[in-house]
Amino acid sequence: MIDLKVITSKIQSIDRDPWMKKELAIGFDVGGTHIRGAIVSHDGCVLERFRRQTPTGGHPDLLIPILVDCTTVFRKQYDVLSGIGIGAPGPLRAGEGIVSHMPNLEGWRDFALQDTLSRETGLPVVLINDADAGAIGEHLAGAARDCPLFAYLTLGTGLGSAIVSRGKVWTGSRGFSNEWGHIPVFPDSGVCSCGHPGHAEAFLSTRFILNEYGLEAMGGSPAGISSPVTVSDVFDRDRTGDKVAAGIIDRYGSALGRLIATIAIALDVDWFILGGGISASCDRLMPLIMEAIRWWGFPPLTDGLTIRRGALGDDAGLIGAASLVMHRKIRDSSS
């Protein structure tokens, strides 16, 4: 487990010094579509941002140089940096700094990301699951500051998930816990990004939205990543009365509600924080989520759930990852 109580207390007690006097670290987030980075201060403020498209395929040989170049640029501006915290899609062996597999990127099987990036930059590096990083960010500085127990779901290229309980991120015995996107209880879904049928992520991904829209509205050809239609376009078309877009979003929202009911029943969690790009459309999704919870739920555990959009947007994972490297002793002693 990653204990956040010490980090929280430091953030709350920190003096509002000029940022030049504060401890700083880099936070990175490696995603299926973009690589993002930021300089984050000790008290959770983002000072600089970096964003670049993930190279086609996302192979480490293409991606590592981008991270190194970004670090070099940041170091020219901020000469005292504690290190790099990097969030990556699971599953990964965070304690060993190894990415086991990235379903949406090529060439990452058992890749030693932490050691490789540390060697290339000369800085300490801490690797963390990207959803865990987002949960830490929201707990320290965002929508979950007052939540002792909550689930964090990232709605994007895939579905990331994390559980924070009593100030600790639950990472499981090998660091693989909370891969809720791969829970196999959706028999009517297609094939998941991991290759198996019936997983939640087969519905809850940008791939689902684009592929379905391509099949149903664009002449039978899956839209896929290279399509000129984006997920944002699909939501825009829904707002202007596109029935195909509306049907796909309805299925997405219903599947999300069913997953939230499943997590609530399994773990007795009553707070859910939604992050990731699709969470920007929370208002559209919320009635679908609540209807699905009523339909699929188990009232003693699913009545009165609180579902809230994250407050930090794309910054949550960057803040969480950077905060962790600034307090790596906590992680090392508790994971």
List residues near Zn ion by CB under 5 A.
182, 192, 194, 199
Provide, rounded to whole angstroms, the least separation between the CB of residue 183 and Zn ion: 9
**Least distance from Zn ion to the Cβ atom of residue 194, Å:** 3
Contact 159, 180 (CB under 8 A): yes
In whole angstroms, the minimum distance from the beta carbon of 91 to Zn ion comes to 10
Question: What span, in angstroms and rounded, lies between the C-alpha atoms of 235 and 160?
Answer: 21
User: Nearest approach, Cβ of 90 to Zn ion (angstroms)?
Assistant: 11
Closest residue by Cα to residue 166 from 154, 179, 150, 153 = 150
Q: Least distance in Å: CB of 111 to Zn ion? A: 19
Spatial separation of the C-alpha atoms in residues 240 and 110, rounded to whole Å: 45
Rounded Cα distance, 275 and 38, in Å: 18
Smallest distance, Zn ion to C-beta of residue 103, A: 7
d(CA 196, CA 193): 8
DSSP-based three-state secondary structure for 3: strand
Residue of 327, 335, 322 lying closest to 85 (CA atoms): 322
Q: How far apart are CA 263 and CA 335, in angstroms?
A: 23
Nearer to Zn ion, 182 or 327 (CB): 182
Residue among 194 and 282 whose Cβ is closer to Zn ion: 194
Closest distance between Zn ion and the C-beta of residue 187, in Å?
A: 13
Residue in the structure block whose two tokens are 């559209």: 284
Nearer to Zn ion, 132 or 201 (CB): 201
Compute the distance between CA of residue 176 and CA of residue 29 in angstroms, rounded to an integer.
18
Residue 294 CB neighbour total at 10 angstroms: 13
Among residues 37 and 89, whose Cβ is nearest to Zn ion? 89
**Minimum CB separation from Zn ion for residue 153, in Å?**
15
Q: Which of 107, 29, 92 is CA-nearest to residue 66?
A: 29
Nearer to Zn ion, 199 or 308 (CB): 199
Cis before residue 91, ω within 30 degrees of 0? yes
Q: What share of the chain is helix, strand, coil (3-state, %, to 5)?
A: 45, 20, 35
What residues form DSSP beta bridges with 34? 53
Beta bridge partners of 271: 306
Which residue number, 138 or 179, has a Cβ lying nearer to Zn ion?
Answer: 179
Measured from the CB atom, is 192 or 293 closer to Zn ion? 192
Nearest distance, CB of residue 235 and Zn ion, angstroms: 24
Q: Which is nearer to Zn ion, 199 or 237 (CB)?
A: 199
Q: What does the alpha-carbon distance between residue 191 and residue 179 come to, in Å, rounded to a whole number? A: 16
Query: Is-contact 289 256, C-beta < 8 A?
Result: yes
Q: Which is nearer to Zn ion, 28 or 203 (CB)?
A: 203
